[in-house]
């Protein structure tokens, strides 16, 4: 254990003591941006760091080579702290530069280099704190691959790797520090492959049956569905295979991927059935044959007020991150590349009145405050259905920075990113410690979770026989 620097909280002193090592660690992960299920170097770095700090490491969870867990402790409650480390395609940028300078095919445009580092930093600090306090508890860092459309956590849930966990904590980079509202959309990704009959498009068009026609008709049919589905549901599609590049050949095969989202799992399954019916109708109209394969999915988040309150208490006690003049200077440079709507929208999403003079988070967002955030999806949702789960947003970039942007990648190794990462680690560590110190918190979290599951049991969004889509393109 390193010598802890003076601090009002011994646990936070431990976080500060490890700060330089984990800032460097997050930078190394930034330097090796890898897409979902391909994070082999990043996963190896995580294994090495966990072993260096005395964790027992298991890799290859749920058949995924880049899924891992590090555990410390042998008795007591099991606290899971979730981390991620996958990047995004096409969003690289030189670090520390407030202009678009791509440097590779992918980049950490969602801050997952920080996400994994802060979660592991919290786990390391809690491990050492338990030893110093003589308390029993088991802390686990879960390295979860492919959150960006790959749904790595869902496969881990399905294989039971969270079954003995008492509570799970997580976080995500953001412009402000706040407890994350348990609002997200359940979703599935389904590939529809149409099989037709090739022919010469001019000499014998009557002999062909176009798979591309079937895809186009399916897209039209789904678009007409939009008027007749819940207003907060979402359906998106991407053409994966148009059948070739020769227009004088009737396309014998074409493939489209659909991403179907809904507020609740039950509603999602209804929408999936309707989309499949549209695909069957398109095949009937074109005299083609259609196959479908579900390649990933995520459940909606399940709330846990006791854990959310505990996280908020830790946030409030810590206060917002402390920025310096260099942080503010760089934040203003980044904001100069943004539109006023981007900046105002960041405030509105957190229920705040826009203030264009605030470049970096200067407050903790009230718990349960009005939020106008757009609703996306996360595979943390599946974890929340099998174990009491809560998460925070950590302030790690300039207010107004769009998610999944080169501007976010450019800030990934900055002082802003490092300070926000350490801030998030302290909140996670403090809440994990409180759960171990206060068994009533875990009991309350479990009771709340049990009541929600009794009302609506968990139904995995994927068919049981679908393997992890390790060879699929997720972008």
pLDDT of residue 224: 97
Higher local confidence (pLDDT), 371 or 440 = 440
pLDDT of residue 4: 42
Q: pLDDT tens digits for 24-80?
A: 999 999 999 999 999 999 999 999 999 999 999 999 999 999 999 999 999 999 999
Q: Report percent pLDDT > 70 for the chain.
A: 95
**What CATH code would you report for 186-298?**
3.30.70.360
Q: pLDDT tens digits for 122-165?
A: 999 999 999 999 999 999 999 999 998 788 999 999 999 999 99
Give yes or no for residue 6 having a pLDDT over 90.
no
Interhelix angle for 439-455 vs 305-318, to 10°? 140
- Quick one: tokens of 221? 């049919």
pLDDT of residue 296: 84
Half-sphere exposure of 389 (CA within 13 A, CB side): 27
Q: pLDDT tens digits for 322-361?
A: 999 999 999 999 999 999 999 999 999 999 999 999 999 9
Q: pLDDT tens digits for 418-471?
A: 999 999 999 999 999 999 999 999 999 999 999 999 998 998 888 645 445 555
In terms of Cβ atoms closer than 10 Å to its own Cβ (0-12, 13-18, 19+), residue 249 is middle
Q: Do 229 and 271 touch, CB atoms closer than 8 A?
A: yes
Q: pLDDT tens digits for 382-391?
A: 999 999 999 9
Q: pLDDT tens digits for 261-309?
A: 999 888 998 999 999 999 999 999 999 999 999 888 899 999 999 999 9
Instruction: List Cβ neighbours of 241 (8 Å cut-off, separation of 6 or more).
Output: 193, 253, 254, 255
- Which DSSP letter does residue 364 get? B
**What CATH code would you report for 10-183+301-455?**
3.40.630.10
Domain ranges of the chain: 10-183+301-455, 186-298
């Amino acid at each position: 254990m390193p010598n802890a620097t003076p601090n009002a909280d011994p646990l936070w002193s431990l976080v500060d003591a490890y700060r330089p090592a984990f800032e460097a660690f997050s930078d190394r992960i930034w330097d090796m941006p890898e897409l979902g299920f391909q994070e082999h170097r990043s996963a190896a770095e995580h294994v090495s760091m966990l072993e260096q700090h005395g964790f027992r490491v298991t890799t290859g969870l749920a058949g995924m080579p880049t899924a891992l867990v590090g555990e410390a402790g042998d008795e007591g409650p099991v606290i899971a702290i979730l981390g991620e480390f996958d990047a995004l395609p096409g969003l690289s940028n030189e670090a520390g530069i407030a202009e678009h300078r791509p440097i590779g095919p992918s980049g950490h445009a969602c801050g997952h280099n920080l996400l994994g580092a802060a979660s592991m930093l919290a786990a390391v600090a809690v491990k050492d704190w338990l030893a110093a306090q003589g308390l029993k508890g088991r802390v686990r860092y879960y390295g979860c691959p492919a959150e960006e459309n790959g749904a790595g956590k869902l496969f881990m849930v399905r294989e039971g790797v969270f079954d003995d966990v008492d509570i799970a904590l997580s976080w995500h980079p953001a412009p402000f520090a706040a407890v994350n509202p348990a609002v997200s959309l359940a979703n599935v990704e389904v590939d529809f492959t149409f099989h037709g009959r090739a022919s010469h498009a001019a000499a014998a068009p009557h002999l062909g049956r176009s798979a591309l026609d079937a895809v186009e008709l399916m897209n039209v049919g789904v678009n007409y569905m939009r008027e007749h589905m819940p207003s907060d549901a979402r359906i998106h599609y991407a053409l994966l295979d148009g059948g070739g590049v020769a227009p004088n050949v009737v396309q014998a095969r074409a493939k489209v991927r659909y991403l179907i989202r809904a507020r609740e799992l039950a509603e999602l399954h209804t929408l999936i059935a309707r989309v499949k019916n549209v695909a069957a109708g398109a095949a009937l109209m074109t005299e083609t044959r259609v196959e479908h394969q579900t390649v990933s999915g995520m459940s909606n988040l399940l709330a846990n007020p006791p854990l959310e309150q505990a996280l908020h208490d830790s946030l409030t006690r810590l206060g917002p991150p402390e920025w310096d003049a260099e942080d503010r200077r760089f934040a203003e440079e980044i904001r100069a590349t943004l539109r006023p709507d981007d900046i105002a929208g960041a405030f509105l999403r957190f229920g705040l009145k826009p203030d264009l003079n605030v470049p970096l988070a200067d407050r903790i967002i009230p718990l349960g405050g009005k939020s106008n955030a757009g609703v996306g999806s996360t595979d943390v949702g599946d974890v929340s259905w099998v174990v009491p789960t809560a998460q925070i947003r950590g302030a790690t970039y300039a207010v107004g920075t769009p998610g999944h942007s080169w501007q976010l990648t450019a800030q990934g190794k900055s002082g802003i990113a490092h300070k926000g990462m350490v801030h998030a680690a302290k909140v996670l560590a403090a809440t994990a410690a409180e759960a171990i110190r206060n068994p009533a918190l875990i009991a309350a979290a479990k009771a709340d979770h049990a009541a929600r599951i009794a009302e609506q049991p968990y139904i995995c969004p994927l068919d049981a026989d679908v393997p992890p889509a390790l060879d699929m393109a997720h972008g």
